[in-house]
Structure 1
């Protein structure tokens, strides 16, 4: 009965359900874009450059992949709260705050996966790049572009972390109906209230989105490999 009601909500285009879906996608995709802008160059720089403190940065980056989301949410809350250093911006309990906290969570993932990918590729093209006397920035740009299809995996991992986040988003977003309620926070709330059809409907859509994005990424990589062969 609950499953049938969930499918009915989806089929009829329930406005509450799809408003939550739109906000969730907007927040998570914005976080992935910001995470890519920060994480891709960061990972490439750590892969190609040698400098004092690099090992410490690598340890910190890998450690941050396992950061408890609620701790990140609490730290962001303290920064954005009225008494915090960024409180005058008025970002707490807004979609922007949710984008910030999701970005903090996914940058280490994208950065670490990018570092490994670029480091492996740099070994493969080491002689060619040395012969052409390509500088550090040129190497980063060249290898990031060459690894663009492989790096889709890093971006997908970031999207998966962002889209599945509950605790940190709830802390800084407040789970406000019609304003900061995402699919994951809504599923948690509606399940506790006993509104299983809406929770199931949102869960089904979330799974469908993740599967569709992974299928699209797989198709892009398959076409690229076929063209390169």
Structure 2
């Protein structure tokens, strides 16, 4: 029991003193996850809005597939991205495997369906309210999409934060395509797995505290945005 408390206190001290290794790993995690969230949001939010207002033959099927992709196993995504970026793969010439770019690509694939699904549900409700007004104003398809995105920005920001929360805690795909290379592709989740295997529980716990702090912060922001939306403020 004493060893456990000693590891916890040592891990907490690493956070307080801003240990260089811990800071470097945290910044790499934020760099990869924030970039992936921004790219995924740029893809998912317009698609979710378009799916909410567009009527076509296989729309229900597309929505069902989108919802199913929310549960796509990250290790499968990592395997697919690995095969695509490997030397024998179609994009192997780009040399992206075991780089932060490969990790970003994997995270984008993982979180885009989640953000798009939440965006679709939010925009669908707003579209039901604004449908007659936007139709009567003879707005174009993209004008409607942009209007709905702007009016639903709080719900869409929540969707983006949900995507960030999922991406920051992902380990399987990141490990496969990033390789957990020191000073290059090591992020919070892969470093925790590595340090735990090495028996360095102080650094693993320190990284865990940071990861928990980020997760809690994201959930607080989601709660605050949701409460602001219910109160009608912004």
The answer for unaligned runs of 5 or more in structure 2 is 1-5
Corresponding residue for 2:64?
A: 59
The 5 Å alignment of 1:1-229 reads: 1-219=6-224, 228=233
Q: Aligned equivalents of 2:55 and 2:37: distance in 1?
A: 27
Please report how far the alpha carbon of residue 203 of structure 1 lies from its aligned counterpart in structure 2 after TM superposition: 0.8
Q: Deviations over 1:70-106 (max 9, x none)?
A: 0100000000000000000000000000000000000
Whether the aligned pair in 1 keeps the contact of 2:158 and 2:225 (CA below 8 Å) is no
TM-score, structure 2 length as denominator?
0.92
Instruction: Name the SS for the 1:13 alignment partner.
Output: coil
Q: Deviations over 1:18-43 (max 9, x none)?
A: 10000000000000000001000111
1:40/1:85 CA distance change after superposition, 3 Å:
same
TM-score, structure 1 length as denominator?
0.94
Q: Aligned equivalents of 1:200 and 1:53: distance in 2?
A: 48
Please report how far the alpha carbon of residue 55 of structure 1 lies from its aligned counterpart in structure 2 after TM superposition: 2.4
Larger CA deviation: 138-147 vs 123-132: 123-132
Q: Deviations over 1:200-220 (max 9, x none)?
A: 111111111222233345445
The answer for unaligned runs of 5 or more in structure 1 is none
